[in-house]
Amino acid sequence: EFNKLLAMHNNSSFSEERLNLCAALCGFKQPELIDRALALIDTDAVRLQDVAYWLVYSFSNRFAREKTWDWLVAHWDWLEKSMGNDLSFYRLPVYAARGFSDEKFLVTYKKFFGKVLSPAFERSYNQGIEMIQWQSAWKKRDLKLVRAFFKSQ
């Protein structure tokens, strides 16, 4: 399925269709397919204006979020060089934070973005911190209730 979706993505000239296929390509559970999707981001298969979508969809995939974080950190220089003037580049801290609901990740988040922080990132960085904090608090407060509700259904 991955190969079929990738071929469709690469052969499409319609932006909307390519983004839908991007969401599908970034939605797999298998680690090797997650790696393949992430490896496409900095190739000619992905247009620069679509890179943020690939990252957002990958961070949204619970099976891919940690690998996506590792990819973002490892490819930061490429992201900065390729997208540094694009608004979506400065939203990367928020895109990353949306995928995590654990206070433990906040330490990793602050450590990395603290090294690359500039005034242009400040708002997005602070929003990401708030996002991780409130998602973590919600999880601590309500996860047991949510699980109990779904088990009863």
Enter the DSSP assignment of 140: H
pLDDT attached to residue 143: 87
Residue range 36-41: average pLDDT?
97
- Residue 107, classified by CB atoms within 10 Å of its CB into exposed (0-12), middle (13-18) or buried (19+), is exposed
- Share of residues in the chain with pLDDT > 90 (%): 89
Distance CA 64, CA 144 (A): 24
pLDDT attached to residue 87: 86
Enter the DSSP assignment of 49: G
pLDDT attached to residue 90: 93
Distance CA 66, CA 141 (A): 23
pLDDT attached to residue 8: 96
Of 7, 19, 8, 15, nearest to 54 (Cα)?
19
Q: Under DSSP, is residue 115 helix (H, G, I), strand (E, B) or coil?
A: helix
Q: What is the pLDDT of residues 50-96, one digit of tens each?
A: 999 999 999 999 999 999 999 999 999 999 999 988 888 999 999 99
Distance CA 35, CA 32 (A): 5
Residue type at 137 in one-letter notation = A
What mean pLDDT, rounded, does the chain reach?
94
Q: Under DSSP, is residue 26 helix (H, G, I), strand (E, B) or coil?
A: coil
What are the C-alpha distances in Å from 13 to residues 1, 10, 25, 58?
A: 20, 8, 17, 22
Distance CA 41, CA 91 (A): 17
Give pTM, 2 decimals: 0.90
Please report, in angstroms and rounded to a whole number, the separation of the first and last CA atoms in the chain: 32
Distance CA 132, CA 54 (A): 21
Q: What is the pLDDT of residues 96-112, one digit of tens each?
A: 999 998 889 999 999 99
